[in-house]
Amino acid sequence: MSAPLIWILLPFLAGALILFFLPEKYSSIAGGTLAALLSLAALIFPIDTALLIGSLSIKISASVAFFGRSFVLTAADGALLSMIYGVAAFWLICAYALDFEKRFAALSLMIVALLTASIAVEPFLYASLLLEMAAMLAVPLLVPVYQKAGRGVVRFLVYQTLAMPFILFSGWALAGVEANPGDFGATLQSGAMLGLGFAFLFGVFPFYNWIPLLLEEVSPYVVGFLLWSLTAFTTIFALGFLDRYAWISASPQISSAIVFSGTVMVVSGGVFASMQKHIGRMMGYAAILETGLIVLAMGLRSPRVVDVIFLLLIPRGLELVVWAFALSIIKRQAYSLRLSEVRGLARKYPLAVSALIAAHLSVTGFPLLAGFPSRLALWQELAGYSLTVSFWVFLGVFGLLVAATRALAVFVMADENASWGINESWAQIIMLSLGVAGLFAIGIFPQILQPLLADLPALFLHLGR
């Protein structure tokens, strides 16, 4: 048995079987259980290493060939696979508490499998094709049957599709640059194409307008899942580019451009979030700000760049699932999610509102919450890089904190005679409690992430060394 068959083909086929054969009420539980087992297997069974269990020897090979292309998952990928499928399991089990249709469980498993294939495929440029396939597979999640696609869905698909040719052409051009590094014209062209490709994938300003639009048109839970999964794998793909072409990260001009792009995302995301009258759009701009922090970290040329980026990525998955889950509960009471319609809902859905505010504050880097350790590490790097950039990042984060304060004020703004009550289901109460507990656990005891963070830098040969 090979690792790509277990962590790519198996979940993809399982998603197809869930979609066509499994009853709806069991779909999310089945998908979540499989994802949890895959996460546990990635921790227990080392890849390409013989494991003795009594007299039985088990070895999972690292690669498999498919249509002339190799898919390789090494021992260094074990921690990453455990993280990916662990977070995916939580998304799927929370979907059960929301009574999502089985299409979400099936397609989300297939999307995660395709995205996992994007980090395993060789040559690695084919990852852009797999990212595009995952984006296209997300369309049935975003557009209900017999309903016309909204502007947000169309822009999402257009931007994800535009990224693919730019990245493929830049990979071809970068091969020429390696052969003739003194050709300034070729270097400039390849750098521009690569930058545009990743600008579309990451949703760099001004290409992120599809995110707040989607959160007005589509279920916030589905959008939150896509914001987590696509950004996480795009980040790993981008780090692979920087690792393979070391001259990109070593160039002061390119690094400055990356830092500038990330800073603009952070500032614009925070400022726009503070001005919103729709709590779904607030979540969208918060996700944009956090993506901006990741992009900013990539350009710092620090030996700790990999540690800082993964320290940002791991809590992001938990923050988004808690936020999107709470928002989905609230949306069933206030369909439009405008501030005027969620007024006083803290008395009807106290647990959902508390979880939403906790996730919101975690993204701002509030102490004792999951986002705080990563923000602290990033602030330390920024302090040695530029005080000007640090000021603008602080301004963006402050804008997001203003948005959290506005949302909390509206949620608790109720008539004096309004009674308190818990209207969340038992399953929702359990998942909300687990999510908020996880946010505080990572914030208070960040060392619990150390087993994952210790192995993740081994994914890259040169980056951060």
Cα dihedral across residues 215, 219, 222, 224: positive or negative? positive
* Span 347-353, average pLDDT: 89
Between the alpha carbon of residue 154 and those of residues 46, 151, 366, the distances in Å are: 41, 5, 35
pLDDT in tens, 84-113: 999 999 999 998 888 887 888 899 999 999
Cα distance between the two ends of the chain: 33
Q: Is 169 exposed, middle or buried (CB count within 10 Å of its CB: 0-12, 13-18, 19+)?
A: middle
pLDDT at 458 over 70: yes
3-state percent breakdown (helix, strand, coil) of the chain, nearest 5: 75, 5, 20
Query: pLDDT value at position 441?
Result: 93
Q: Contact at 8 Å (CB) between 14 and 32?
A: no
pLDDT in tens, 26-61: 888 889 999 999 999 888 887 777 666 666 667 777
Q: Contact at 8 Å (CB) between 211 and 288?
A: yes
What is the Cα 196 distance to its own chain's centre?
Answer: 20
Nearest CA among 198, 195, 176 for reference residue 187: 176
Q: Give the pLDDT band of residue 178 (cuts 50, 70, 90).
A: low
The beta strands (E) that lie in 73-160 are given as: 121-122
Q: Contact at 8 Å (CB) between 50 and 57?
A: yes
What is the pTM assigned to this prediction? 0.91
* Structure-model confidence comparison of residues 50 and 64, the more confident one: 64
Per DSSP, the three-state class of 170 is: helix
Query: pLDDT value at position 465?
Result: 56
Per DSSP, the three-state class of 278 is: strand
Taking all residues of the chain, what is their mean pLDDT, rounded to a whole number?
Answer: 85
- Integer Cα distance of 79 and 89 in angstroms: 15
Rg (CA), the chain: 22
Q: Is 337 exposed, middle or buried (CB count within 10 Å of its CB: 0-12, 13-18, 19+)?
A: buried
Query: pLDDT value at position 340?
Result: 84
* Span 56-67, average pLDDT: 73
Query: pLDDT value at position 51?
Result: 66
Cα dihedral across residues 114, 120, 126, 131: positive or negative? positive
CB atoms within 10 A of CB 390: 17
Between the alpha carbon of residue 274 and those of residues 108, 135, 267, 397, 398, the distances in Å are: 31, 29, 11, 10, 9
- Integer Cα distance of 121 and 114 in angstroms: 10
pLDDT in tens, 205-245: 888 888 998 988 888 999 999 999 999 988 988 888 887 77
Q: Out of 18-22, 53-57, 339-343, 450-454, pick the least confident.
A: 53-57
User: How does DSSP classify residue 345?
Assistant: G
Query: pLDDT value at position 183?
Result: 54
Nearest CA among 291, 256, 239, 266 for reference residue 386: 256
